[in-house]
Copies of this chain bind each other. A is one copy, B any other.
């Protein structure tokens, strides 16, 4: 007897490959000691929230008044919070948005599920670019869309030839994620301009509306001054920005973010209403009320990015020296390393011998790479380097001078 929804049951019984690996790491740590396991599996920030978060929380619980602080906000979010966020966005990107374009959410995943449920109608397709965050598929399919994936480009920008062929009259939305999980790549302005042009051409060709969903939890995590992450609202009218404070403020468990529905789309009122309706239908009454106020007081702050930058350089240089080929990570806190053998799953299994927990890129919709999350302690990275060296020796032994 089918008691429950079988799709949901299957989703619940098949946790992500990343979480499986993380749990393997915990079991291994219990066996041989946490310090002997080099767990690079999870994108869980390792740096503390900035002190402004602590101070905002203490000030709010001491002085804001419990009933107002912990009470319901509007479903769209507190007005003062939305105003502060709109101002911050405009100050930084000149995007010309207003508080009425902002819908506060319970984090990036909620930003995505609410946006997708707002947009997707029966028969619609949602396009994403490999490598992509695996839950995109879960979210798009749960919203009723067919999930279409564009193969990765060699330089981890966009494979436009493939993209053009995969955008059809059924394409309702295209998801981009820059800085990217898992590749660490940042889409250049030239790439984005070309993508926006393509979407406009396709809209005209098919007489349809195509929305660009920009998933931006890693926006603040770039390390070189020259790295620019263009603001999509300025480039494409039908943009929804899905933002989260999880990574920038090291608050992933608090579930706080927002959606910007670009004011530049003519059907803004309909899309914003659909976002509100989708939030309601999915059970999101409002974003956590105290955290709304906390993040509005911490705009422009980030956790200590310097640690991530040190980790990034340390790993990139060491692994390159050992003979591995890595994508140079402009942002986020992931290093994407080419597997020395085509089968990245087998390579990650081999890495376990050295207690290195790496995620095969197959989870992200492309083959032949591994993701190394460097949001860990610098100390652990240093301790892990001999293990990486042994791993390199195992795979590159023929090419080593004997």
Please classify the interface of chain A as helix (H, G, I), strand (E, B), loop, or mixed, using the class held by over half of its residues: helix
Residues on B with C-beta less than 8 A from A112 are 283
Stretch of A51-59, A82-90, A190-198, A338-346 with 4 or more beta carbons under 8 angstroms from chain B:
A51-59
Please state the number of chain copies in the assembly.
2
A253 contacts which of B53, B278, B286 (Cβ < 8 Å)?
Answer: B286
Check if B67 sits within 8 Å of A48, measured CB to CB.
yes
**A113 in the interface (beta carbon within 8 A):** yes
Chain A contacts with B in 1-27, Cβ cutoff 8 A: 1-13
**Cross-interface CB contact of A66 among B49, B61, B138, B267, cutoff 8 Å:** B49
Contact of A12 among B66, B121, B280 (CB under 8 A): B280
Whole-angstrom distance between the Cβ of A128 and the nearest chain B Cβ: 16
Q: Which residues of A, 253-278, contact B by the 8 Å Cβ criterion?
A: 253-255, 267, 270-278
Q: Which of A70-78, A147-155, A314-322, A366-374 contacts B (4 or more CB under 8 A)?
A: A70-78
- Asked if A274 and B9 sit within 8 Å, CB to CB, the answer is yes
Nearest-CB distance from A365 to chain B (Å)?
18
Asked whether, in the complex, the Cβ of A276 is within 8 Å of the Cβ of B11, the reply is: yes
Nearest chain B residue, comparing its CB with the CB of A2: B121
User: Contact between A253 and B283 (Cβ–Cβ < 8 Å)?
Assistant: no
Q: Mark each residue of chain A from 293 to 319: 1 if its CB lies under 8 Å from any CB of chain B, else 0.
A: 000000000000000000000000000
Output the residue of A9, A47, A209, A291 with the most chain B CB within 10 A: A9
Whether A281 and B61, one on each chain, are in contact in the complex, defined by CB atoms closer than 8 angstroms, is: no
Whether A120 contacts B48 by the Cβ 8 Å rule is no
Contact B280 A3 (CB under 8 A): no
B3 lies within 8 A of A270 (CB): yes
Residue of B nearest to A66 (CB): B48
Across-interface contacts of A3 in B (CB, < 8 A): 119, 209, 267, 270-271
Contact B57 A274 (CB under 8 A): no
Inter-subunit contact A118/B5 (CB<8 Å)? yes
- Separation of A320 and B393 alpha carbons in the complex (Å): 87
A residues 99-131 in Cβ contact with B at 8 Å: 106-107, 109-114, 117-121
Q: Is B5 a contact of A107 with CB atoms below 8 Å?
A: no
Q: A4-B271, A253-B288 are in contact. Are A135 and B11 (CB under 8 A)?
A: no
A4 cross-chain contacts in B, Cβ below 8 A:
118-119, 121, 267, 270-271, 273-274
Residues of B contacting A280 with CB < 8 Å?
A: 11-12, 135, 138
Contact B73 A12 (CB under 8 A): no
In contact, B71 and A45 (Cβ under 8 angstroms): yes
Query: Could you say which residues of chain B place their CB within 8 Å of the CB of A207?
Result: 1
Does A397 make an interface contact (CB < 8 A)?
no
B46 touches A283 (CB 8 A): no
* CB atoms of B119 and A1 under 8 A apart: no
> Cβ of B8 and Cβ of A106 under 8 Å apart?
no
Contact yes or no, A67 B46, CB < 8 A: yes
A250 contacts chain B at the CB level, 8 A cutoff: yes
Name A250's contact: one of B42, B53, B67, B73 (CB within 8 Å): B67
Name the distance in Å between A147's Cβ and chain B's nearest Cβ.
13
B67:A278 contact, CB within 8 angstroms: no
Q: Are A278 and B8 in contact (CB under 8 A)?
A: yes
Contact status B250-A66, CB under 8 Å = yes
In the bound complex, residues from chain B placing their C-beta under 8 Å from that of A1 are: 207-209
A289 contacts partner chain B, Cβ-Cβ < 8 Å? yes
- Shortest A57–chain B CB gap in Å is 5
Let me know if A333 is at the binding interface, CB within 8 A: no
Cα of A271 to Cα of B271 in the assembled complex, Å = 34
Q: What are the 6 tightest A-B residue pairs by CB atom distance, in nearest-first order?
A: A253-B289, A11-B277, A113-B283, A12-B277, A12-B273, A12-B276
